[in-house]
């Protein structure tokens, strides 16, 4: 079951222990290092969303059962829903929802890869599963320069992704753009920060990042254009969160 977590409890974990930011890299080569980075940058808020009909903006996010919907913090005005095809599937769909005066406005459906073995209620480093849950989104970064992120953006050569993935695909460019998911990490720091409040065994380095064409170690990977759109849209003043889980779990149908 998805449980509500605060920004303090939902902190994320080291790259060299779990997540796409570490295990994929260390399996095939050297992982990213917590290299020095310039001060994060922030950008102005986006223009207001256009007014929509009540039918186009439901009061509750589609696909989320009442328990899951109730666990989303009341302050959240942007919600990224990552819905997996099944408990053991590495294929998911990502939709960004924004709250308007009439309800939730949905963005387009984006295909995504998640962890090789699917999903976990109790993520552990190296389990090759993406953690279920609702987590804040506080920090971003990447190997490439800031494309106009509203979240604090940490530009660093430490976002290097060498080697190949599970299906032999090159990992180069996977960390061109990343958004840290606040699982077992300290919000307000670079995604490369290795602080793990829940302990190293609980993994970490769980990111939204650029898709490399195959399953991940725990992250959510999207097309590069979609990552840039998220970076330019997610606004810390709107308290963005991500909802992670397979479809039946999110709909409160899972046992």
Closest CA to 236 of 143, 156, 140: 140
Pairing of strands 220-222, 207-210: parallel
Of the candidates 209, 217, 226, 239, the residue annotated as catalytic is 209
CA dihedral 214, 219, 220, 221 (to 10 degrees): -50
If 0-12 CB within 10 Å is exposed, 13-18 middle and 19+ buried, where does residue 255 land? exposed
Q: Is 123 a catalytic residue?
A: no
Of the candidates 20, 219, 226, 239, the residue annotated as catalytic is 219
CA distance 152 to 106: 24
What are phi and psi for residue 158, nearest 5 degrees? Answer: -70, -15
Q: Which positions are catalytic?
A: 209, 219
């Amino acid at each position: 079951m998805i449980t509500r977590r605060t920004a303090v409890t939902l902190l994320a974990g080291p790259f060299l222990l779990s997540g796409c930011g570490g295990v994929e890299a260390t399996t095939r080569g050297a992982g990213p290092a917590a290299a020095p980075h310039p001060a994060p940058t922030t950008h102005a808020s986006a223009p207001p969303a256009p007014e929509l009909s009540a039918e186009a903006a439901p009061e509750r996010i589609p696909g989320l059962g009442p328990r899951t919907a109730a666990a989303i913090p009341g302050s959240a005005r942007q919600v990224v829903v990552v819905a997996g095809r099944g408990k053991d599937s590495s294929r998911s769909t990502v939709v960004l929802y924004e709250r308007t005066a009439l309800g939730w406005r949905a963005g387009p459906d984006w295909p995504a890869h998640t962890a090789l073995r699917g999903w976990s209620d109790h993520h552990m480093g190296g389990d090759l599963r993406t953690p279920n849950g609702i987590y804040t989104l506080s920090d971003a970064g990447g190997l490439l320069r800031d494309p106009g992120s509203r979240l604090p953006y940490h530009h660093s050569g430490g976002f290097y992704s060498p080697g190949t993935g599970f299906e032999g695909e090159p990992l180069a460019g996977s960390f061109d753009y990343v958004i840290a998911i606040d699982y077992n990490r300290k919000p307000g720091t670079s995604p490369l920060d290795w602080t793990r409040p829940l302990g190293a065994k609980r993994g970490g380095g769980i990111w939204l990042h650029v898709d490399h064409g195959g399953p991940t170690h725990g992250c959510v990977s999207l097309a590069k254009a979609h990552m840039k759109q998220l970076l330019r849209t997610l606004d810390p003043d709107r308290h963005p969160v991500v909802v992670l889980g397979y479809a039946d779990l999110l709909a409160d149908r899972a046992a």
